[in-house]
Amino acid sequence: MKRAERVQAIPPSGIRRFFEIAEEMDDVISLGVGEPDFTAPWAARTAAIDSLERGRTSYTANRGMRELREEISTYVRRWDLDYDPDEEVLVTTGASEAVDLAVRSIVDPGDVVAVPQPSYISYVPTVTFAGGEALGVPTSQADDFALTPEALREAGAADADVLMLCYPNNPTGAVMTREELAEVAAFCREHDLIVLSDEIYAGLRYDGEHTSIATLPGMRERTVVFNGFSKTHAMTGLRLGFALAPADAVTAMNRVHQYTMLSSPTTAQHAAIEALRSCDDAVEEMRTQFDRRRRFVISRFNEMGLDCFEAKGAFYAFPRCGGDDERFAEELLRERNVALVPGSVFGSGGDGHLRVSYATGMAELKTAMDRIEAFVADQWSVA
């Protein structure tokens, strides 16, 4: 069957080979999972059950239930984000859909989207599907994986149309300070870039408060913010996210949304309302557990000689393996039954690193770290 060129242009996922190896193995401890090992707070789950029992199985408004948009509008004020629930909030089927809607409603064929790397693996394909051109902007451990105006300039992003951001970052766990974001914001204003800011990990920051670039002077009108319930509320399977943007941008995104998704799952929207109303304590408990695991994992990597950047957000550590990261990941999986993701999968700047998800229980995490330590000691020479 014929396939569209822009689909054929997308290479297979860099981790597919590892999937296939892992599927044939038993007793694999996976640190390759980008989702919490916790389940959604029980109150949110009971709200979902209740909505089904009451037969609330119809479509909702395209933009999402007004009740939920109001809760979202209140929720994001903790990060100084102020958006009108009627005009400037769009409920989407996961933050992934929000990213796709924004790209499709903003990017014209041939437009250039600057994507800092390493970054979440879906950004570049999303841009390609929309007919845009992704421009990789390398970040490095020397800069704590923060994006800098120099890196943007050197990569040629001054001529780009859009900048994609993801802080706290997947896969590095890096965060950006208000001052660092202010420099990037100045670059965007100077060169008239629209910013798509994926802040799905905003609630998982461990060293202070999250700053959204949309709160910086002159940025609200040129920024779309994405967030959702998958990571902080452990609701990955419920597929619910949202976008915040000026009314005209939300209207444009909703135009695409209403012809593709129509509306996001009603059950999940009921769960999300309850999640925002009563689950802050449950979220804080999960954040506390992640924080402890973060310190543990980073400490263990440094002790075993794999230099580990001090991630301050999300739930990933990003140690240097001191060699070919793909070979490290494959040998570790085959010989010590630990699955993690080679950093090079996430683009330039990820080479020689490993993405290690600590969204796994402490007991398994300890066993996995012991296995990695034995692997490094017996079979791997750190360059």
Q: How far is the CB of 366 from another protein (least distance, A)?
A: 7
Per CB under 8 A, the list member of 74, 299, 348, 379 interacting with another protein is 299
Nearer to another protein, 296 or 375 (CB): 296
Phi/psi class of residue 208: alpha, beta or left (left: φ > 0; alpha: ψ in -120 to 50)? left
Q: Is 78 in the site for another protein (CB under 8 A)?
A: no
Q: Report the residue count for the chain.
A: 383
Q: Are 89 and 250 in contact (CB under 8 A)?
A: yes
Q: Is 28 in the site for another protein (CB under 8 A)?
A: yes
Phi/psi class of residue 263: alpha, beta or left (left: φ > 0; alpha: ψ in -120 to 50)? beta
Q: Is 257 in the site for another protein (CB under 8 A)?
A: no
Q: Are 164 and 119 in contact (CB under 8 A)?
A: yes
Per CB under 8 A, the list member of 6, 45, 62, 121 interacting with another protein is 121
Q: Is 22 in the site for another protein (CB under 8 A)?
A: yes
- The mark string for 263-292 relative to another protein (x by CB under 8 A, - otherwise) is -------------------------xx--x
- Local structure of 114: helix, strand or coil: strand
Q: Is 18 in the site for another protein (CB under 8 A)?
A: yes
Q: How far is the CB of 58 from another protein (least distance, A)?
A: 30
Nearer to another protein, 222 or 300 (CB): 300
Buried b (16+ CB within 10 A) or exposed e, 327-349: ebbeebbeebbbbbbbbbbbbeb
Q: Is 167 in the site for another protein (CB under 8 A)?
A: no
Distance CA 147, CA 341 (A): 22
* Amino acid type, 109: P
Instruction: List residues near another protein by CB under 8 A.
Output: 15, 18-19, 22-23, 28, 30, 32-35, 37, 120-122, 170, 288-289, 292-293, 295-296, 299-300, 339, 341, 360, 362, 366
